[in-house]
Amino acid sequence: MRRIFIFILLVAAAVGQTAPLAKPAAAPEDENSAKARTLIDQAIKALGGQAYLTAKTKGEDGRYFTFYHGESRGTGIAFGLYTKFPDKQRLEILKVRSYHFLLFTVGGIASKDKSDIVVIHNADKAYEVTFKGTAKEDPKVTTAFIRRREHSIDAVLRKWINEPGVAFFYEGQAVAAEKPAEQISVTNAKNDSVTLYLDATTHLPIKTSYSWRDPQDKYRNVEEEVFDNYKLVAGIMTPHSVTRYLNGDMSYQKFLNEVVFNNDLPDNLFEANITYDPFKNSSSR
């Protein structure tokens, strides 16, 4: 009897050694990251999924306003804006609202009114076209534009989330633009971060926020963009109202009348040749 008991113990021990170990519970940070990524995937789906991610170009027609200390600087400026993802953009402010399809020369403008202006951004190059000719854009303005572009909702959802070393953080429920939202932060390998506020019901982006430190005065600045009045255009949910804030103060707002995706925008629409230097005379003094 004793021999049988010992044999049973040996068999049980052998079985115990070969039995698979129980799977450890997921670490809290893994669950947090997974939740954040799931919400981002829901946001992309809400925006249109592959239609949103694979859009090649975007054309906008509308009116924008600039603000200083929260006060509007005017009654608004009519504009045409043409984007070729990921880094080409052309802004046209013309008295004659013909826009790019009536232009006969690259970098030129349809009329020669003194109020006409075309601003071209192509990667890290930027040009300003007026009745005087074509000049390099003020470097400070170009730096600010590139910073906004690299932290935009399109950059985060189309580029950041697929980069090596990116991290996702779910930061809980919040309120953005007076709407209930889910707050998520996306941090890239350079430790640069953008916070997204997604509508708790529709999953559409309500707001983005990021901070940067001024290289001159070393102060930390916070820039935010708020998206509203979404409409379905070519299978893509598109905000027709965008408001920008700097350190809590409204700085820019645009309202769109029409949006077109995947229209034919040739590369030379985003090219220009510099014809004069507006700072040459002032710098020589």
The model's pLDDT over 94-128, given as tens digits with 9 standing for 90+, comes to: 865 544 443 434 344 444 567 789 999 999 999 99
What pLDDT does 24 receive?
Answer: 52
Residue range 230-234: average pLDDT?
98
Question: Strand, coil or helix: what is 167?
Answer: strand
What pLDDT does 163 receive?
Answer: 96
Q: Is the pLDDT of residue 8 over 70?
A: no
219-234: b or e for each residue (b if 16 or more CB lie within 10 Å)?
A: eeeebbbbbeebeebe
What pLDDT does 18 receive?
Answer: 43
Q: Is the pLDDT of residue 177 over 90?
A: yes
The predicted model scores a pTM of: 0.84
What pLDDT does 250 receive?
Answer: 95
Residue range 10-38: average pLDDT?
64
What pLDDT does 4 receive?
Answer: 46
Percent of the chain with pLDDT over 90: 72
The CATH class, in words, for 28-284 is mainly beta
* 224: nearest Cα among 199, 248, 193, 191: 248
Radius of gyration of the chain (CA): 26
Per residue in 127-143, pLDDT tens?
A: 999 888 999 999 999 99
Q: Is the pLDDT of residue 215 over 90?
A: no
Residue range 142-149: average pLDDT?
97
Evaluate whether 156 touches 210 at the Cβ level (below 8 Å).
Answer: no
What pLDDT does 153 receive?
Answer: 98
What pLDDT does 281 receive?
Answer: 63
Which pLDDT band holds residue 28 (cuts at 50, 70, 90)? low
Residue range 82-88: average pLDDT?
97
Mean pLDDT (the chain, rounded)? 86
Q: How many CA atoms lie within 13 A of 18 on its CB side?
A: 5
Q: Is the pLDDT of residue 91 over 90?
A: yes
Amino acid at 103: L
Q: Is the pLDDT of residue 180 over 90?
A: yes
Pairing of strands 71-72, 77-84: unpaired
Residue range 12-30: average pLDDT?
52
Lowest mean pLDDT among 79-83, 142-146, 151-155, 216-220: 216-220
Per residue in 29-76, pLDDT tens?
A: 699 999 999 999 999 999 999 999 999 999 999 999 998 766 676 778
More confident position, 3 or 31: 31
Residue range 148-169: average pLDDT?
97
* 227: nearest Cα among 181, 261, 192, 187: 181
More confident position, 49 or 11: 49
CA-to-CA distance for 220 and 225, rounded, in angstroms? 17
Q: Tokens 């009745």 correspond to what residue?
A: 131
Which pLDDT band holds residue 87 (cuts at 50, 70, 90)? very high
What pLDDT does 116 receive?
Answer: 87
DSSP conformation class of 93: E
